[in-house]
Amino acid sequence: MNITIGRGKTARRAYGIDEIALVPGVRTLDPALADTRWQVGAIEREIPIIASAMDGVVDSRMAVLLSELGALGVVNLEGIQTRYEDPNPILDRIASVGKTEFVGLMQELYAEPIKPELITKRIQEIQAAGGIAAVSLTPVGAAKYASTVAEAGADLLFIQATVVSTAHLSPESVESLDLVKLCQEMPMPVVLGNCVTYEVSLELMRAGAAAVLVGIGPGAACTSRGVLGVGVPQPTAIADCAGARDDYFQESGRYVPVIADGGIITGGDICKCIACGADAVMIGSPIARAAEAPGRGFHWGMATPSPVLPRGTRINVGTTGTIREILVGPAKLDDGTHNLLGALKTSMGTLGAKDMREMQQVDVVIAPSLLTEGKVYQKAQQLGMGK
């Protein structure tokens, strides 16, 4: 399994979403029989899809809509929503500037401090409308705002950074976040991420994670691989972390779901991630295309507004339908970006998988990525090379 790059340096081959495909077995299934339920902590959901904690993807209204449809949406507590009482004029400005002014504007907008009272307000407005209040903080933000989130009574907390670890080295002047303590003390389940290896995901599960987020580098609006050189393609990362989940379940009796986060565009991508072992997926750009998305047809990454090293980009994803059409259809597009639940159920039917556990075990084949025209087309369009 180890490949020699040169003397003294070996590497593993990792596989990307575009490099694999799923293989039907001897049985097929009526899609109506496919059971897609999954669970994080005590929260059970019909649809194994979570909308990313990104400014352009989830606000309070979107969180409520996603809850009603059987999915989940996470509000980024360190973004526009908690810096501005009324985010709408801010989002209008973001949508109106040109490509070259974008990074500068984001750096300016993020200079406005986070307001604890807006954290409380966002959580309460989601719950008041009957939604599940899932919110996210970075490790640095958690040190400051975890108590506010606890008091406001959020249902689910995501502690999320490009890379998270239980062993973080800080300058002596700064105290590092203790993930074990946080998981124990918070009154709601805490999801930790992102990670990409067996070892780290096992550490996070042992630290008390209610679920782990898997994925570094692959996202459409993420430039970690270009800026930092860091990243692992999703199928390999998911399979490794799913291995940790199964081993941890043997060790502890607790099942910690693995959530694939990043690089997932189509229904086919969702199916492939689950087939590699994921329990659910977190997606950004496909949700940013919804008419109800706060991004107004734009999508950008969480690391974009960094004052010293922005690493994210704004993509004009456009608006292609309602969030209902995107999640549960009926589809108005034929490219795999509408009716994502229908796509998953149809794929499970085609593959004969009755539930998520069976879907995690279907046959996978490594197939040349050049042949997936849909991807080539989408990629070309993103690059401005399409028609």
Asked if residue 7 binds its own copies (CB under 8 A), the reply is yes
CA dihedral 218, 66, 113, 120 (to 10 degrees): -140
Which of 5/86 has CB closer to its own copies?
5
248-277 binders of its own copies (CB under 8 A): 263, 266-272, 275-277
- Residues 356 and 281 sit within 8 Å (Cβ to Cβ): no
Asked if residue 70 binds its own copies (CB under 8 A), the reply is no
Asked if residue 364 binds its own copies (CB under 8 A), the reply is yes
- Residues 210 and 39 sit within 8 Å (Cβ to Cβ): no
* Close Cβ partners of 297 (under 8 Å, ≥ 6 residues apart): 95, 288, 289, 316, 317, 318, 319
- In the shown chain, the binding pattern of residues 280 to 319 toward its own copies, with x for contact by CB under 8 A and - for none, equals ------------------------x-xxxxxxxx------
| Region of 48-56, 90-98, 149-157, 358-366 interacting with its own copies (CB under 8 A) | 358-366
Strand partners, 281: 49, 260
Q: Active site includes 222?
A: yes
Asked if residue 168 binds its own copies (CB under 8 A), the reply is yes
Structure tokens at 159: 């502690």
215-244 binders of its own copies (CB under 8 A): 216-218, 220, 223, 225-233, 235-240, 242-244
16-45 binders of its own copies (CB under 8 A): 16, 18-30, 32-33
92-121 binders of its own copies (CB under 8 A): 103-104, 107
- Residues 61 and 292 sit within 8 Å (Cβ to Cβ): yes
Shortest Å, Cβ 288 to its own copies: 16
Query: Exactly one of 292, 342, 355, 358 binds its own copies (CB under 8 A); which one?
Result: 342
Asked if residue 175 binds its own copies (CB under 8 A), the reply is no
Pairing assessment for the beta strands 49-51 and 280-283 based on DSSP bridges: parallel
Which of 116/329 has CB closer to its own copies?
329
Q: Which residues of 164-182 are buried (b: 16+ CB within 10 A; e: fewer)?
A: bbbeeeeeeeeeebbbeeb
- Residue bearing tokens 């993509």: 315
* Close Cβ partners of 227 (under 8 Å, ≥ 6 residues apart): 309, 311
Instruction: Point out the catalytic residue in the list 183, 195, 222, 241.
Output: 222
Asked if residue 370 binds its own copies (CB under 8 A), the reply is yes
Which of 289/375 has CB closer to its own copies?
375
Note the Cα 355 to chain centre separation in Å. Answer: 22
Shortest Å, Cβ 387 to its own copies: 3
The catalytic residue positions are: 222, 311
